[in-house]
Amino acid sequence: MAEHLLEVRNLSVQFHTAGGTVHAVRNINWHLDRGETLAILGESGSGKSVSASAIMNLIDMPPGEITSGEVIFAGKNLLAMSDDERRAINGKRIAMIFQDPLSHLNPVFTVGWQIIEVMRIHGIAPDAARARALDLLKRVGIPEPETAMRKYPHQFSGGQRQRLMIAMALALKPDIVIADEPTTALDVTVQAEVLALLGELQKETGLGLLLITHDLGVVADIADRVVVMNAGEIVETGTPDEVYHNPKHPYTRKLISAAPGRGEMHEPNATGEPLLKVENLCKSYGSFKVLKGVSFTLQPGETMAVVGESGSGKSTLARALLRLDEADSGHAYWKGRDLLKMPAKELYRLRRQMQMVFQDPTQSLNPRMTVYQLISEAWVIHPEILPKPQWRPRVEELLTQVGLSPAHAERYPHQFSGGQRQRIAIARALALRPELIVCDEAVSALDVSIQAQVIALLDKLRRELGIAFIFIAHDLPVVRDFADHVMVMQAGECVEIGTVRQIFENPQRDYTRRLLDAGLDPDPRVQAARRMPKVQAGLEVG
């Protein structure tokens, strides 16, 4: 058998925590060949990043402990090497790019310095390093490389920052690049560009690419082989096509069936008095116009999805409607009354009819309050809704309604998983019997299978309680499954608005089409067909 570029054999890693020992990965085996893209697919807690951390010597020991296994690179076991030897390999022969480029780039140094640094530590002369850095910036598509060298990470966009990370990783022409969720924090169109860039660079240099991801779409787009992980173990290995079309393990099947975007589309038909009618809403921060006259109508019990890339004004729209931020001009009629002009007292009563669920339940739930306190707090603020003796039974009822157990009432948020926390946030929103819930990226931070469950829960609430939703999301497949109407936003303007079928099957505007095309399909065959025109378009741009 020919020697692999990199081989992980029988690796087991544990973490010793206050809550006991966690087996992060158990006896995992995989290998990577030259010129190949291997994807490790898994949800949070599956251990998909652990082997990469072991390869890069990034596991803090303690609390981590590598209990068995070896990582063979260039005929040698990395795990048996000294720290100095491994430092000589890191960045030079094996490089890594990370999920969130803003936090992974050092905020106080210029990007030029940071790219040059990796070459300096591996012994390249300053002038040569500088010249190479300029070349790299040019290659990854950063405009005005000379000026860019002197800029700081915060002065770039998200996509550009990831390009900078890629430039840094490629500086010394490594044999292997490890990319840990490289596009997760990026908008769909930017994600498509970054993946295309990674693919091209791999072809040019013949490096082995290890891609760690939770996204079936990313796997379908660029992986040659995929390793599926669950709970610290590899459950399945194969080509993306085999794994997607012929999954052998129940977990893989569950993961694939949870991928959103293939359900029945809703056909809204409500007429009559709208619940909310928004007209010409405008909002600026200083001279920057975030909302440039947005209008839409929402019927009771219906769901309006607001989609768009970051900076398009989606969240500002939600905040303006709830009057967390004051809009500059425009109207928003709630059952005929303009809520933007409502006096404070009336607004206070109205607030309980409109609730919000935020993206990150870890941050939006007070960590010092029990679930009971979190949910019943709404009745402390609006005491007329429910007399105190009924609080306890109602909390328990709500918990049951969102799929938790009444016994959970006395626990604190940190004792729950991410999906459960989002359920608590939903129960809290339901406490006031709202007629409208605004979900700001409410399922974006959740794993696919959890996401599917939470969407199913929201759908059930919508049917049973007749709640209307404003559903802000950047993830189009989820929107396709859940929404009645879709509003596409770009740079503070409504580009297109229509029923979910109109938008997804017959988009009228170029921007909407671009957005839909940039999305990745979990099916490798569909994705391959979709990719061809994109690559050609990319070549024209490049």
Partner 1 sequence: MGKKMMRRIVSSFFSLVALVVMVFFLSRLTGDPAALFLPIDATQEMLDQFRELHGLNDPLIQQFGRYVWDVLQLDFGDSIRKARPAIDVVLESFTWTLQLALITIALVTALAITIGSVAAFRPAGLFDRFVSLVSLIGASAPDFWIAIVGIVVFSITFGWVPTSGTGTVWHWILPVAVLFIRPFGLILQVVRGSMLTAFGSAYVKTARAKGVGNRSIIFVHTLRNAMLPVITVIGDQAAAMLNGAVVVETIFGFPGVGKLMIDSILQRDFNVILAAIMVTALAIFVMNLLIDIAYTLLDPRLRT
Binding site for partner 1 (CB under 8 A): 56-58, 87-92, 95-96, 98, 100, 103-109, 117-118, 121-122, 152, 154, 165, 168
User: Judged by CB, which is closer to partner 1: 363, or 400?
Assistant: 363
User: Judged by CB, which is closer to partner 1: 2, or 108?
Assistant: 108
118-155 exposure pattern, b = at least 16 Cβ within 10 A, e = fewer: bbeebebeeeebbebbbebbebbbbeebeebbebbbee
**First and final CA of the chain: distance in angstroms?**
39
User: Judged by CB, which is closer to partner 1: 109, or 348?
Assistant: 109
**Least CB distance from residue 110 to partner 1, whole Å?**
8
* Token code pair at residue 107: 């905020």
Nearest Cα residue to 114 out of 157, 89, 151: 151
Integer CA distances (angstroms), 380 to 386, 400, 408, in order: 9, 21, 20
User: Judged by CB, which is closer to partner 1: 53, or 451?
Assistant: 53
**Least CB distance from residue 81 to partner 1, whole Å?**
13
* Token code pair at residue 542: 């490049």
Instruction: Give dist(CA 100, CA 55) in Å, integer.
Output: 20
Q: Got the DSSP string for 206-220? A: --EEEEEES-HHHHH
**Least CB distance from residue 463 to partner 1, whole Å?**
42
**Least CB distance from residue 471 to partner 1, whole Å?**
30
Rounded to 5 degrees, what are φ and ψ at 196?
A: -65, -40
User: Judged by CB, which is closer to partner 1: 31, or 87?
Assistant: 87
* Token code pair at residue 316: 């500002």
User: Judged by CB, which is closer to partner 1: 117, or 241?
Assistant: 117
Rounded to 5 degrees, what are φ and ψ at 489?
A: -115, 145
Instruction: Give dist(CA 415, CA 307) in Å, integer.
Output: 32
Instruction: Give dist(CA 145, CA 128) in Å, integer.
Output: 16
Rounded (10°) angle between helices 510-518 and 524-541: 120
* Three-state DSSP class for residue 348: helix
User: Judged by CB, which is closer to partner 1: 122, or 411?
Assistant: 122
**Least CB distance from residue 319 to partner 1, whole Å?**
24
Nearest Cα residue to 212 out of 352, 326, 43: 43
**Least CB distance from residue 10 to partner 1, whole Å?**
24
**Least CB distance from residue 176 to partner 1, whole Å?**
12
Kind of pairing between the strands at 436-440 and 354-357: parallel
User: Judged by CB, which is closer to partner 1: 160, or 512?
Assistant: 160
**Least CB distance from residue 292 to partner 1, whole Å?**
24
**Least CB distance from residue 104 to partner 1, whole Å?**
4
- Indicate the DSSP class of residue 370: -
User: Judged by CB, which is closer to partner 1: 125, or 380?
Assistant: 125
* 401 touches 430 (CB < 8 A): yes
**Least CB distance from residue 231 to partner 1, whole Å?**
24
Instruction: Give dist(CA 429, CA 434) in Å, integer.
Output: 7
User: Judged by CB, which is closer to partner 1: 178, or 443?
Assistant: 178
Q: What is the 3-state secondary structure (H, E, C) of 508-535?
A: CCHHHHHHHHHCCCCCHHHHHHHHHHHH
